[in-house]
A = this chain, B = another copy of it.
Amino acid sequence: MTVTAPARSKSQQAYELLHERISAGALVPGYRLVLSTLAAELGCSTVPVREAIRRLQAEGLVTFEPNVGATVAAVDATLYLHTMQTLAIVEGAATALAAPQLTAADLAQARALNEELRACLEDFDPARFTELNNRFHEALYGPCPNPHILDLVHRGWNRLNAMRASSFTHIPGRARQSVEEHEELLRLLESRGPAPEVEALARAHRMRTLNAYLAAAGEPPSVL
């Protein structure tokens, strides 16, 4: 059995490629996505591209105007705020729901990831730090038994990853503080703390990142 073909549909391929490019920052916000151009580039027709763009629209990565076209969603401070706030809420809930499902192995892995993050603080590599940070959080909310909430969390992360502002690059000192907050969250989870506390702490962790960003941008903190 030669495992043969991926057999992905062209819509799927187009979607994955565009998603990849936007997340990687190769397509700057405001960039205009023209169906025919993308189709030619992908070596397919416009119909699959169109479908891919509608999916990206549903996820909020691109904005779409009828009879005009799609552009990569612009990131202003307000959009970033709303996305982070939403993610704080759903990720907090997901982490709380996942908490009882977490095995000792899960926690050990998360702890190992946080130690990697700590080691990463020296000779700071933003891309690697962001990657490890993603994996750390995913390890904690991943066992959440409610697939809808998980889906919302993933969408939130996708949107954030599409924003260059999301990385810790531009917020001095935030990375180090973040590692400490992870430590606190891990201790609470390991002691099997009550769900509401887990939710509050996970939410607060994200809100603090948001507020650190707002402070660095000279704006007032957001309440929640």
Contact = CB atoms under 8 A, between A and B. Distances in A.
Interface residues of A, number: 26
A54 B57 CA distance: 12
A163 B204 CA distance: 34
Contacts of A85: 97, 146, 148-149
Given A54-B55, A195-B224, A86 B9 contact: no
Interface string A68-87: 00000000000000110110
Main secondary structure of the interface of A (DSSP, over half): helix
Interface of A: 9, 47, 50-51, 54-55, 58, 60, 66, 82-83, 85-86, 89-90, 93, 96-97, 146-149, 152, 195, 223-224
A162 B58 CA distance: 20
Contacts of A82: 146-149
A135 to B, nearest CB: 24
